[in-house]
Amino acid sequence: MARTYTRPVVLEDAVTHYCPGCGHGIAHRLIAEAIDELGIAERTIGMAPVGCAVIAYDYFNIDMSEAPHGRTPAVATGIKRARPDCVVFSYQGDGDLAAIGTAEIIHAANRGENICVFFVNNAVYGMTGGQMAPTTPVAAKTTTSPYGRNPENEGFPIKVAELLANFDRVAYSTRVALSSPRNVRAAARAVKRAFLTQIERRGFSIVEMLSPCPTYWHMAPENALKHIDESFIKVFPLGVYKDWDK
């Protein structure tokens, strides 16, 4: 009997530390599947962020580096400039990319560094216990916005995919959701397209993935996914905001 789906080769045998139903697991799997499909494992270098995915290097069988919080796009720049034939990807959460790392992501995008950025947006700081994130929606309660996010004090959530699409040397900027089979399949296509954008040397690509955090949204995994489809998506519309082909 032939197999139609097997565990991605480049995913390590390790059981991940992520919570049941965590979007990181889906995102890791999609990236691993794309690396397998494109046959690039031997020349891919990945970055682990600071956040729940801080030990992502234990889950992919490729060269990987740590980076200080938010600095992944700068470290990825240093790696890609030194090894232009390698496929370099940055993997970041919402604190890493949209809070402490805002300067680094904007300037890597502006320079059009030929890297892929996978941005896992779950609107909360998971690693540190559920604090507010730059992408937390208005009125959402977190441990540092106990009365609900108030735009007058905290500003509105930041829309990264739209923001980065404004830069001329961003070749591909899209937002997907890890919330249903249809949406995850679209996310898989986006991840592959991002890698191809780099391989074909077209410039900077970013895939923003709306992702569930069942633990800090205080929802069962299936309800967290419903929450993305029914509520979160209205704040962060899905779509392709920049494409080198259009």
Q: What's CA 245's distance to the chain center, in Å?
A: 22
Considering the complex, what minimum distance in angstroms separates the CB of residue 156 from another protein? 24
Distance between CA 214 and CA 122 in Å, rounded?
A: 10
For the record, the structure tokens of 222 come out as 């299936």
Distance between CA 166 and CA 209 in Å, rounded?
A: 19
State the amino acid at position 37 in one-letter form. Answer: E
Place of tokens 């682990």: 48
Considering the complex, what minimum distance in angstroms separates the CB of residue 134 from another protein? 18
Shorter beta-carbon distance to another protein: residue 139 or 220: 220
Distance between CA 42 and CA 62 in Å, rounded?
A: 7
DSSP character for 142? B
Considering the complex, what minimum distance in angstroms separates the CB of residue 150 from another protein? 30
Return the SS3 of 80: helix
Shorter beta-carbon distance to another protein: residue 61 or 173: 61
Shorter beta-carbon distance to another protein: residue 41 or 99: 41
What is the chain's alpha carbon radius of gyration, rounded to the nearest angstrom?
17
- Nearest CA to 146 out of 158, 135, 157, 154 is that of 154
Considering the complex, what minimum distance in angstroms separates the CB of residue 187 from another protein? 10
Shorter beta-carbon distance to another protein: residue 69 or 141: 69
Place of tokens 């949209």: 98
Shorter beta-carbon distance to another protein: residue 65 or 128: 65
Considering the complex, what minimum distance in angstroms separates the CB of residue 111 from another protein? 7
Considering the complex, what minimum distance in angstroms separates the CB of residue 136 from another protein? 22
Considering the complex, what minimum distance in angstroms separates the CB of residue 100 from another protein? 10
Shorter beta-carbon distance to another protein: residue 31 or 145: 31
- Nearest CA to 183 out of 238, 126, 142 is that of 238
Shorter beta-carbon distance to another protein: residue 49 or 130: 49
DSSP character for 134? T
Contact 141, 147 (CB under 8 A): yes
Q: Which residues bind another protein (CB under 8 A)?
A: 1-8, 11, 15-16, 18-26, 29, 32, 41-45, 48, 54-55, 57, 60-68, 71, 74-83, 85-86, 103-104, 106-107, 111, 180-181, 184-185, 188, 214, 220-222, 225
